Amino acid sequence: MSEKFYVTTAIAYASKKPHFGNTYEAIMTDAVARYQRACGKDVFFCTGTDEHGQKIEDLAKEAGITPKVYVDGVAGEIRKLWDDMDVKYDYFIRTTDDYHESAVQKIFKRFYEQGDIYKSEYEGWYCTPCESFFTNTQAADGKCPDCGRDLTQAKEEAYFFKMSKYADRLMKHIDENPDFIQPELRKKEMVNNFLKAGLQDLCVSRTSFTWGIPVPFDSKHVTYVWLDALTNYITAIGYDPDKTYEEQSAHFKKYWPADVHVIGKDILRFHTIYWPIFLMALDIPLPKKVFGHPWFNFGMDKMSKSRGNVIYADKLAEHFGVDGVRYYALSEMPFASDGSITYEAVIKRYNMDLVNNLGNLVKRTLDMEKKYFGKIVPTPAGEEGTDAELKAACKKAYESLRTSMDDYHVADALESIFEMLSRANKYIDETTPWSLAKDEANKARLGTVMYNLMEAIRQGAVMLAPFIPATAEEILNELGTDKRDFASLEGFDGMVAGAEVGDSKVLFARVDEAKKLAEFEAERQAMIAAAEAEAKANAIPEKPEGCALIGIEDFMNVELRSAKILECEKVPKAKKLLKLKVDLGYEQRQVVSGIAKWYAPEDLIGKRVILVTNLRPATLCGIESNGMILASGEETVRVVFLDPNTPLGERIH
């Protein structure tokens, strides 16, 4: 029976489409799952969406739809994005799934009945985007310590979980399992900042909104989103709260405990303190490891629509392909410190690694194989020093891959593979197959060189399969080999002499940096404009200062009458002024109006407008004006037009 491996992402919050940094987690976890499958393990990879909470309720209200309709749309968008990025999960859970909601209610009731939960009142700081509560000490400046946004004061009746009851037991578990929290610096943060400081009881219900799983015995309360969300890791594999651990289904006991929860560093507290304590209260084993990966920033800044630096993985794939995006994400994120993404860096790594190193190696090797051996794999004969060095490079890359991936150093694993590919390119320069091909006496040596090159490429493709799967499969197809598992990397004989290889293809086309950067800048400016328009549309206008208050008698002294524009022309040497001749029915007048910036004369002739008729005559640029056209606005002026059927000279009230 194969060894099992259960891996999860944190379920994505269904408030909006994830940006590149959020999508990294799904790509990284997929690479881990694919690697473990290649190692022969029975892998179960779970991901999904977290769909309850005040933020979603507020967003749905703004959109004028129900929360369920709202999350259905966003969850579908998230799932499509994962699929587009070639993320091969085994299960996609939604916290609005009936079985999950039912299980959460039973868990809440069980906690209450066994004395872990009690009712009280919460008063303190709350962060709506993070769905998190904070003490005065944690939020001394009124800002969320996780996201930096403004906190709000909250006071409401709530149920609380007795965290302190399990604190010593959790500390003991962390001490006895040094790899439980990774990287090491994250473990120190949790232990020093939370456990040693003393755990406060956790609020596990809310009454200030309704979009959540109802508490089964108190209908005005809904389950706090973190108790709801964290339990997805066990409900997804069939956990039944009515049964003991020994009584659970074979499927559940096969995969639990999870081998690793892959999460962002910002939610480490919930997964390494609250989640283990919930599991202790349920009397089921804790996950083996929680890996808190760093963040991706745009250069040195966090991604922000207002800055125009938000990058979406699927949009980036339109320029570099899915594997181009996957490769950059996986190769650029360090193990512990934050990663960086800029368009310049993406282009550079794409051209250097994927186009020059990998793509060029595969194409010129297969082109030479076709030219010198008619696409038939030659039989290797003998070994020289450079051959041994190439074989050693392949062996070293594979060993490094295994070590790095077992420790979740994903970028290091990729670096070792591409070092091997660079060695294969150097091998071509050292052996010069084109020179060997000039003399028939060198045919055997040429065959050995070509065999070694194709075998090195095959090994590289097998190693790359967890990271850039579509490209790896294309390379293996071109090589015409079915030796695609890790077991075939133990030797250097995977290519079969006498077999036929396929034609070469361009795996990655070179990107023109200047041209591509210009495209990205245009997209950035469009994003900034869209963000500004959205902000303007959602902004509440400030009340204008206005004029002094007047009585109805003052207003009635202003005589407004309907008039028709008969003639209109620009005033020479006055860019803002138009001279109009208007008909009031009982008389015609000349009026000068400062609307030339917004209206051409031909646009106004024949229109019916409102005219202030009892103004004293004024002289503008030497032209007498008898009245004023009624219009609104300051930066943009809009004339008030009347229905064409309005009688001329009619009083406007």
Q: Which of 464, 489, 514 marks a domain boundary? A: 489
Could you give the percent of the chain with pLDDT greater than 90?
Answer: 75
Do residue 422 and residue 559 come from a single domain?
Answer: no
Domain that holds residue 611: 552-652
Instruction: Give the pLDDT confidence score for residue 382 in this predicted structure.
Output: 87
Instruction: Name the pTM for this structure.
Output: 0.80
Judge whether residue 303 has pLDDT over 60.
Answer: no
Instruction: Give the pLDDT confidence score for residue 533 in this predicted structure.
Output: 83
Instruction: Give the pLDDT confidence score for residue 307 in this predicted structure.
Output: 61
Residues 10 and 49 sit within 8 Å (Cβ to Cβ)? no
Residues 610 and 640 sit within 8 Å (Cβ to Cβ)? yes
Query: Residue 596 sits in a domain of what CATH number?
Result: 2.40.50.140
Q: Which of 443, 458, 489 marks a domain boundary? A: 489
Query: Residue 267 sits in a domain of what CATH number?
Result: 3.40.50.620
Q: Which of 489, 517, 535 marks a domain boundary? A: 489
Judge whether residue 149 has pLDDT over 90.
Answer: no
DSSP structure string for 139-196: TTTSB-TTT-PBPEEEEEEEEEE-THHHHHHHHHHHHH-TTSEESHHHHHHHIIIIIT
Do residue 10 and residue 116 come from a single domain?
Answer: yes
Instruction: Give the pLDDT confidence score for residue 547 in this predicted structure.
Output: 63
pLDDT band per the 50, 70, 90 thresholds, residue 302: low
pLDDT band per the 50, 70, 90 thresholds, residue 200: confident
Number of domains making up the chain: 3
Do residue 343 and residue 484 come from a single domain?
Answer: yes
Do residue 267 and residue 392 come from a single domain?
Answer: no
Do residue 50 and residue 125 come from a single domain?
Answer: yes
Query: Residue 386 sits in a domain of what CATH number?
Result: 1.10.730.10
C-alpha distance from residue 433 to each of 335, 374, 498, 506 (Å): 40, 15, 19, 21
Instruction: Give the pLDDT confidence score for residue 301 in this predicted structure.
Output: 58
Going by C-alpha positions, the residue among 286, 250, 287 that lies closest to residue 8 is 287
Residues 387 and 423 sit within 8 Å (Cβ to Cβ)? no
Any domain includes 497: no
Distance in angstroms (rounded) separating the CA atoms of residues 166 and 195:
11
Cβ contacts of residue 640 below 8 Å, gap of 6+? 609, 610, 630, 631, 632
Instruction: Give the pLDDT confidence score for residue 124 in this predicted structure.
Output: 74
Do residue 266 and residue 322 come from a single domain?
Answer: no
What is the pLDDT averaged over residues 59-66? 95
Do residue 50 and residue 199 come from a single domain?
Answer: yes
Any domain includes 511: no
Any domain includes 542: no
547/561: higher pLDDT: 561
Distance in angstroms (rounded) separating the CA atoms of residues 107 and 284:
13
Judge whether residue 305 has pLDDT over 80.
Answer: no
Any domain includes 622: yes
415/540: higher pLDDT: 415
Residues 40 and 2 sit within 8 Å (Cβ to Cβ)? yes
Distance in angstroms (rounded) separating the CA atoms of residues 570 and 168:
85
Any domain includes 394: yes
549: exposed, middle or buried (Cβ count in 10 Å: 0-12, 13-18, 19+): exposed
Do residue 289 and residue 325 come from a single domain?
Answer: no
619: exposed, middle or buried (Cβ count in 10 Å: 0-12, 13-18, 19+): exposed
Do residue 477 and residue 603 come from a single domain?
Answer: no
Beta strand segments in 392-487, E: none
360/533: higher pLDDT: 360
Going by C-alpha positions, the residue among 420, 418, 272 that lies closest to residue 355 is 418
**Which pLDDT tens digit goes with each residue over 244-292?**
999 999 999 999 999 999 999 899 999 999 999 999 999 999 999 999 9
What is the pLDDT averaged over residues 96-110? 98
Instruction: Report the chain's mean pLDDT, rounded to a whole number.
Output: 91
Instruction: Give the pLDDT confidence score for residue 127 in this predicted structure.
Output: 78
C-alpha distance from residue 189 to each of 25, 186, 294 (Å): 21, 5, 14
Residue where the block lists tokens 């024949």: 606
Tokens found for residue 243 = 């049964």
Any domain includes 169: yes
CA 128 to chain centre: 19
Whether the CA torsion 489, 494, 495, 499 is positive or negative: it is: negative
pLDDT band per the 50, 70, 90 thresholds, residue 232: very high
Tokens found for residue 260 = 């690793």
Instruction: Give the pLDDT confidence score for residue 539 in this predicted structure.
Output: 67
Do residue 251 and residue 102 come from a single domain?
Answer: yes
Any domain includes 387: yes
Task: Point out the least confidently predicted range of 131-135, 380-384, 595-599.
Answer: 131-135
Going by C-alpha positions, the residue among 39, 33, 24, 18 that lies closest to residue 462 is 39
Any domain includes 307: no
**Which pLDDT tens digit goes with each residue over 497-556?**
999 999 999 999 999 999 999 998 888 888 888 878 877 776 655 655 656 677 777 777
Element of type H or E holding 57: helix 54-63
Q: In the beta sheet, which residues pair with residue 3?
A: none
Do residue 318 and residue 287 come from a single domain?
Answer: no
Do residue 165 and residue 281 come from a single domain?
Answer: yes
Q: What number of CA atoms fall less than 13 Å from residue 361's CA on the CB side?
A: 27
Instruction: Give the pLDDT confidence score for residue 299 in this predicted structure.
Output: 60
pLDDT band per the 50, 70, 90 thresholds, residue 191: confident
